[in-house]
Amino acid sequence: MHWIDPDQLPETRGTVRRFLLNPHGEPDGFILDRDRQVHFPPHLAAQVTRHVAIGDKVRVRGLKPRTADIVAAIAITGPDGRTIVDDGPPHDKPPHDDAHAERQPMEASGAVLLSLYGPKGELRGALLDDGTALRMPPHAAAELHAYLQAGAHVQAWGKGVRNRHGCTLDVQDIAMLVDA
């Protein structure tokens, strides 16, 4: 995204309520107050988590895809006034290195608070009421969209990661709980 001038983009302001993790356990977004999802690429995770914490007020400049109410961040300004700009991934490091957390067999159940989307607005999962992010590829999420809508009660199984930034489950199986 290095060719886009972030100062020319719309600004969203809010308070960070929780981080979102990708299936590898890396932060790749956060939820602001009023359930607004912000997506950022994993290569920014270390910078963002170094300068932004849960409860911080932030300003985000980015693009909103046509199909989802999220912001694909180009620039994030933390409470200290430091702005983190997405200039693209570093060219000297492979996109996925060995620093990923080891995923463990997990299961999660609960009510869906909100659907989760990728940076282009594609449905990619859901956030449960216990804070667990359910993640799946866009083609699977499209087929299972009823399971990923706010208010649905689900149980999911797969491999996941829990760390200081949150919990994520790469869904392999999912069921709707009808007696919840």
31 domain-assigned: yes
- Note the pLDDT of residue 96: 53
Residue 165 belongs to domain with CATH number: 2.40.50.140
94 domain-assigned: no
Looking at 55, 85, 115, the residue that finishes a domain is 85
| Same domain as 168, residue 113 | yes
| Same domain as 78, residue 22 | yes
Residue 45: give the domain boundaries. 9-85
| Same domain as 78, residue 21 | yes
Looking at 57, 85, 113, the residue that finishes a domain is 85
Domain count along the chain: 2
- Note the pLDDT of residue 84: 97
2 domain-assigned: no
d(CA 28, CA 26): 6
* pLDDT (tens place) for every residue of the chain, 180 residues total: 567 899 999 999 999 999 999 988 999 999 999 899 999 999 999 999 999 999 999 999 999 999 999 999 999 999 999 999 999 888 776 555 545 678 899 999 999 999 999 999 999 999 999 999 999 999 999 999 999 999 999 999 999 999 999 999 999 999 999 875
55 domain-assigned: yes
- Note the pLDDT of residue 98: 46
| Same domain as 122, residue 71 | no
3 domain-assigned: no
| Same domain as 121, residue 78 | no
- Note the pLDDT of residue 88: 86
| Same domain as 117, residue 170 | yes
Looking at 53, 85, 117, the residue that finishes a domain is 85
Q: DSSP string of the chain? A: -TTS-GGGS-EEEEEEEEEEE-TTS-EEEEEEGGGEEEE--GGGHHHHHHH--TT-EEEEEEE--TTSSEEEEEEEE-TTS-EEE-----TTS-SS-TTSPPPEEEEEEEEEEEEEE-TTS-EEEEEETTSEEEE--HHHHHHTGGGGSTT-EEEEEEEEEEETTEEEEEEEEEEE-S--
| Same domain as 116, residue 167 | yes
155 domain-assigned: yes
What b-and-e string marks burial along 132-143, b requiring 16 or more CB atoms within 10 Å of the CB? bbbbbeeebbee
